[in-house]
Chain A
Amino acid sequence: MFRAHWWAAVATVARLVGDLEVAEDAVQDACAAALTQWPAAGIPGQPRAWLISVARHKATDRLRRERRRPGKETSAALEVTAPGPEDWVSRADDELGLIFACCHPALDPAVRVPLTLRSVCGLGTAEIAATFLVPEPTMAQRLVRAKRKIRQAGIALRVPSPSELPDRLGGVLRVVYLVFTAGHKPASGEAVVRGDLCEQAIRLARALTTLLPGEPEVTGLLALLLLTDARRGARVSDAGDLVLLADQDRARWDQAKITEGAARLGQALRAQRPGAYQIQAAIAGCHCTAASAADTDWPEIAALYGELLRYEPTPVVAANRAAAVAMAEGPAAGLALLDGIGTDRRLARWPQLHIARGELLCRLGRRRDAARAYQTALDLAPAAPEREFIGRRIRELAG
């Protein structure tokens, strides 16, 4: 109920009082007040305006109290003026300004995703701490420090100027993508998929497309997330194991998401300003629209990965391209590409590279080499679902 209003409420109150930390605490208090008052008095006609007005009063009271304390450090927050009637209305620019501040390049990259989950999505600190596998007090302290930096360093809660926008937008899209990845592929821990985080990321991407309709990479990101999330229901077996794309029951893919994702991708591509998210969405689209694994258009996917390399020349993209080439031209061609990448010491420690090698070696009939590649992957301590998968493969090869 409150999550739908959280982003707008925090953003509007932060603009009115000039302090994110105070605004967020005040909105939290306003939600608590609503929980006790609404059941008896009924839900107000405009719940968002109600929350904003109550939170603003709480925030102003707190700032007045702090101002009376002598010698208290001052901030721009003290310039609280009486709002005009239009100030109560939340504005699209407030919401954008808040997410751009949470993803600001002057903040520690590691805190941008948790801060966005807290300040924009309204997730609780305990929930965020569990996602990143740190104790709650540690996460709480990181979040407070980041919000304090925003205030002390004068990071403005505003939309960047047109000349800054391309760079800064990239930072915001990256955070949204990482929120999705945290749900789609938890780095460690026992959960195979965290659907709630996937939904949050899609919600953020959807809101950004409304706020910035002229940016094809924003629409491309939404398309990518929809086309990837469409397969969520088939990615985990009833026993809780990860299921490979080729083995997934395509009847369990979410057709509504695929249809919307494909439409969004088409809309993004029409702007003729391609980018990494649009290309990744196109790759996801190739998988989603294939009637069966055998019908997948691998030459097209290999070509798209080649294109993606121009935007993201990383070993991970190169490895994915090698896997697609193996499907298009045969395992030997893919293996040659993978072995070339394996000389990169950083990538050699990436379990997925060795899983991919194992798969290709299997297909070439080199069972002993394949088992060795899987063992290397296992030694690199992958996440729990992948551990299960590799263990199964090693047992199959031994049997």
Chain B
Amino acid sequence: MRYLFLLYGPDGPLPAPGSPEGQQMISEWRAATDAMARAGVLIDCAPLQPPSAATTVQVRGGETLLTDGPAAEIKEQFGGYTLVDCADLDEALRWAATVPTAFSGSVEVRPVVQIPDSAGEVPG
């Protein structure tokens, strides 16, 4: 069985990069994810850009409707996820509009933060 952990953190800015609190946060995350990786249970993990960077896609009557920001309708519930790798937002939005949920509910397109590996290279 696969499980997606939805990580809900407190609202507000993260500790400043390079500050002692920021370094502590990074080492705590490394410890937790390294342990999962060593145990062979980790498939993928990444932080997301903030909700303000989200775009919500709905398809109604053959028209694709875009809204700046997260999906806010409370009666819809988070029911799955799809991770894609695209050249830019336009390509991601085109694919999002093909997901069945876009026709019945909403698809929130949230960019994943790209983290450089130890050599400083940004993947993708």
CA distance A70 to B120 in the complex (A): 11
Contact of A153 (CB < 8 Å), options: B18, B23, B26, B111: B111
Within 8 A of B (CB), among A61-82: 69-76, 78-79
CA distance A79 to B68 in the complex (A): 27
Is A397 an interface residue when CB atoms closer than 8 A count as contact?
A: no
Indicate whether A74 sits within 8 Å of B49 (C-beta atoms), given known contacts A107-B68, A153-B55: no
Q: How large, as a class, is the contact surface on chain A?
A: 20 to 34
Within 8 A of A (CB), among B86-120: 86-90, 92-93, 109, 111, 113-116
B54-73 toward A: CB 8 Å interface, digit per residue (1/0)? 11000000000010110000
Within 8 A of A (CB), among B40-62: 49-50, 52-55
Asked if residues B90 and A152 are in contact (CB atoms below 8 Å), the reply is: no
Is A155 an interface residue when CB atoms closer than 8 A count as contact?
A: yes
Is B17 an interface residue when CB atoms closer than 8 A count as contact?
A: yes
Asked if residues B17 and A72 are in contact (CB atoms below 8 Å), the reply is: yes
Contact of B122 (CB < 8 Å), options: A78, A104, A105: A78
Interchain nearest-CB distance for B68 vs A (Å): 4
CA distance A122 to B67 in the complex (A): 26
Asked if residues A155 and B66 are in contact (CB atoms below 8 Å), the reply is: no
Interchain nearest-CB distance for A62 vs B (Å): 16
Q: Which residues of B contact A109 (CB under 8 A)?
A: 68
CA distance A148 to B54 in the complex (A): 11
Contact of B89 (CB < 8 Å), options: A69, A76, A155: A155
CA distance A156 to B111 in the complex (A): 13
Is A145 an interface residue when CB atoms closer than 8 A count as contact?
A: yes
CA distance A106 to B58 in the complex (A): 12
Asked if residues B114 and A105 are in contact (CB atoms below 8 Å), the reply is: no
Asked if residues B68 and A71 are in contact (CB atoms below 8 Å), the reply is: no
Q: Interface size on B (CB < 8 Å)?
A: 28
Q: Which residues of B contact A366 (CB under 8 A)?
A: none
Indicate whether A152 sits within 8 Å of B122 (C-beta atoms), given known contacts A71-B26, A108-B69: no
Find the A residue at minimum CB distance from B15.
A71
A117-154 toward B: CB 8 Å interface, digit per residue (1/0)? 00000000000000000000000000001001100111
Q: Which residues of A contact B92 (CB under 8 A)?
A: 154
Indicate whether A153 sits within 8 Å of B53 (C-beta atoms), given known contacts A69-B17, A69-B18: yes
Q: Which residues of B contact A75 (CB under 8 A)?
A: 114
Asked if residues A145 and B52 are in contact (CB atoms below 8 Å), the reply is: yes
Most interface-central of B49, B50, B115 (chain A CB within 10 A):
B49
Asked if residues A71 and B53 are in contact (CB atoms below 8 Å), the reply is: no
CA distance A106 to B108 in the complex (A): 11
CA distance A79 to B93 in the complex (A): 24
Within 8 A of B (CB), among A198-221: none
Asked if residues A153 and B66 are in contact (CB atoms below 8 Å), the reply is: no
Asked if residues A152 and B53 are in contact (CB atoms below 8 Å), the reply is: yes
Interchain nearest-CB distance for B29 vs A (Å): 11
Interchain nearest-CB distance for B78 vs A (Å): 20
Asked if residues A71 and B22 are in contact (CB atoms below 8 Å), the reply is: yes
Asked if residues B93 and A149 are in contact (CB atoms below 8 Å), the reply is: no
Indicate whether A154 sits within 8 Å of B88 (C-beta atoms), given known contacts A72-B17, A78-B122, A106-B93: yes
Q: Which residues of A contact B54 (CB under 8 A)?
A: 153
Is A160 an interface residue when CB atoms closer than 8 A count as contact?
A: yes
Interchain nearest-CB distance for B94 vs A (Å): 9
Indicate whether A153 sits within 8 Å of B49 (C-beta atoms), given known contacts A106-B68, A106-B89: yes
Asked if residues A74 and B53 are in contact (CB atoms below 8 Å), the reply is: no
Indicate whether A156 sits within 8 Å of B89 (C-beta atoms), given known contacts A105-B66, A149-B53: yes
Indicate whether A71 sits within 8 Å of B23 (C-beta atoms), given known contacts A105-B66, A108-B68: yes
Asked if residues A164 and B115 are in contact (CB atoms below 8 Å), the reply is: no
Asked if residues B17 and A156 are in contact (CB atoms below 8 Å), the reply is: no
Within 8 A of B (CB), among A100-115: 104-109, 111
CA distance A9 to B100 in the complex (A): 43
Interchain nearest-CB distance for B98 vs A (Å): 15
CA distance A73 to B114 in the complex (A): 8
Interchain nearest-CB distance for A97 vs B (Å): 11
Q: Which residues of A contact B69 (CB under 8 A)?
A: 108
Interchain nearest-CB distance for A313 vs B (Å): 15
Find the B residue at minimum CB distance from A79.
B122
Additional A-B contacts beyond A71-B18, A153-B53, A156-B90 (9; CB < 8 A): A71-B22, A72-B17, A73-B113, A74-B116, A74-B122, A108-B69, A153-B54, A153-B55, A164-B90
Residues of B within 8 A of A (CB): 17-18, 22-23, 26, 49-50, 52-55, 66, 68-69, 86-90, 92-93, 109, 111, 113-116, 122
Q: Give me the 8 closest cross-chain CB pairs, A-B, nearest first.
A: A71-B17, A152-B53, A156-B88, A106-B55, A108-B68, A152-B49, A105-B66, A154-B89
9 A-B pairs within 8 Å (CB atoms) are namely A71-B18, A72-B18, A76-B122, A106-B55, A106-B68, A149-B68, A153-B89, A153-B109, A156-B90
